[in-house]
Amino acid sequence: MKATFGAGCFWHVEDLFSKIAGVTSTSAGYIGGELENPTYDQVCTDKTGHAEAVEVDYDPAKISFEDLLDVFWANHNPTTLNRQGPDMGIQYRSAVFYHNTDQREIAQSSKQALEKSGKYNDPIVTEIVPAPTFYKAEEYHQKYFKKNGL
């Protein structure tokens, strides 16, 4: 199964999900914009509409989509529009790109539960939208932390 998340800079997000039992592979890339096969430089202009995202392949017998969402929510700020920490721009937006109706419903329920929990004073701005074409980022972005000893 696939899950796709935008939660800021894809280097951190990819590293995080790659270490979870039941995740079989991860890829850093771009999703949700107008341009086909965008490059990192193009996405960084904040004009293509893409989000930096991570496509997660997982074994649902070992980890659930709900568990992946728990990791997603716990590891970024879903209340900052087009920003994570010092990174600003539409490419750093918080988003769940769902691959089927079940994922959409689970993500919406999860978001509603988090909103009702009172954990955040500000509204959650995370988009929950259908997954369009995912474009794998350049090779130097894949497993960036591991390749660079970070």
Q: Tell me if residue 9 is catalytic.
A: yes
Q: What is the 8-class DSSP label of residue 69?
A: H
CB 59 within 8 A of CB 4: no
Q: Of the listed 7, 9, 51, 137, which one is catalytic? A: 9
Rounded CA-CA distance 73/112 in Å is 12
Name the token pair of 3: 């899950």
**Residues whose CB falls within 8 Å of the CB of residue 127, separated by 6 or more in sequence, listed in order:** 6, 93, 94, 95, 96
CB 79 within 8 A of CB 125: yes
Active-site residue numbers?
9
